[in-house]
Amino acid sequence: MNFKQSFILALKSLSASKMRAFLTMLGIIIGIAAVIILVSLVNGFKASLVNEFESLGANLVNVNINSRGSNRTVDVDDMYEYVDENDEILYISPTVNISGTVKIGTETLSSTSITGVGEDYDKIKSYEMQQGRFIQYMDVERRQKNCVVGSYIAKEYFNSNALGQTFKINGNQFTIVGVVEEQGDSTEGSADDMIILPYTLARSISRMGRVSSYTLYVADGDNIDAVIQQTKDFLFGIFGNENAYRVSAIAQMMDMLDELTGKLTLILVGIAGISLLVGGIGIMNIMLVSVTERTREIGIRKSIGAKRWDIMSQFVVEAATTSAVGGVLGIILGIVVSAVVCKLLSMPVVISTMSVIVAFSVSAAIGVLFGYMPANKAAKLNPIEALRYD
């Protein structure tokens, strides 16, 4: 009996007892579906985070200075001079985050972010202007009380006509000279609920002695690691102490994310693999029962010339077919459930082709592995004793 005949016979055996075949496959179906669902959810979560990180800027390097207790320091001019001498860095902006009371008319804003920046910050963050202009060099140099607001503030408090309007931060009156295009969903607390002003003015309002945070924009993302090391070397040359500063990048966080999600995927797939083991044991048990039920059939086949290999291949193919059909059903179930769950969680639907291929291969391999023992038992039956079996 060749493989094709064994396969056709296996399909007939499955169709003859559909409920029994389904229950036999159930462990495989659940196991394969669980693997695909978990891998898809991890990939979807990873893709969602990557999108968030990329929106923050994959080419950005953040520098934080913490030189407390040291008589050495780095001022804004030093950082600008460093950037001017480094061809791999296109832009730099000091960043000063301040907490203050924002009053627009009689309204007091509580969730609005207030950031002091340089004139190149819009290029660093890839901002497009919905109205007006961004902070300019003269605003920074003269500490002019001009500012840029997010689309939420413009729409919510100025009826989308914010240019030239004024409001107060800690009692200081500012004039709106620009509105940034929508970054999030224009809701309270979102990326559009923001106020941007010259860092020189922000430093004065917050009463900070010096700027301690800078954002660098690297021309080529592949040079992020080199720029980080160059910046560390520059700062170490000034402070002589690695604890006096911190240089980091979104790209490094993405590398850590890849490593973390990779480990998480292995753990979850390992847990889901337990279901496949249970499914394999279920197939083996059913095949042992099948061998017992078909003992006379085996005896008849042997008596008319079937060889040991013919008997063994028949039962191995049957077990593999049962497992493979269960694998196909599990793949379909896994893809459907993954798509539904990812949509409900507002995550990208990322079905890994490799996980589907591996899942199907594993399901077929489980059938062969766990079908070998029953097949071997059937092949070893004595034809005379098998014919006498009632």
The token pair at 258 is 């890849």
- pLDDT, position 390: 56
Query: Exposed e or buried b for every residue in 54-76, given b needs 16+ CB within 10 A?
Result: eeebbbbbbbebebeeeeeebeb
Over its C-alpha atoms, the chain yields an Rg (Å, rounded) of: 34
Smallest Cα–Cα separation from 165: which of 138, 185, 195, 140?
A: 195
- pLDDT at position 270: 78
- Bridging pattern class, strands 213-218 and 60-65: antiparallel
| pLDDT recorded at residue 181 | 92
Residue 185: its pLDDT value, please? Answer: 76
Residue 191: per-residue pLDDT: 83
In which residue ranges of the chain is pLDDT below 70? 1-7, 9-11, 13-14, 50-57, 67-71, 209, 251-252, 293-295, 298, 302, 305-306, 310, 379, 381-390
pLDDT (0 to 100) of residue 350: 83
State residue 326's pLDDT score.
Answer: 86
Report the pLDDT value the prediction gives residue 57, as an integer from 0 to 100: 63
At 29 the pLDDT is 87
What pLDDT, in 10s, does the model give residues 17-37? 777 778 878 888 888 888 888
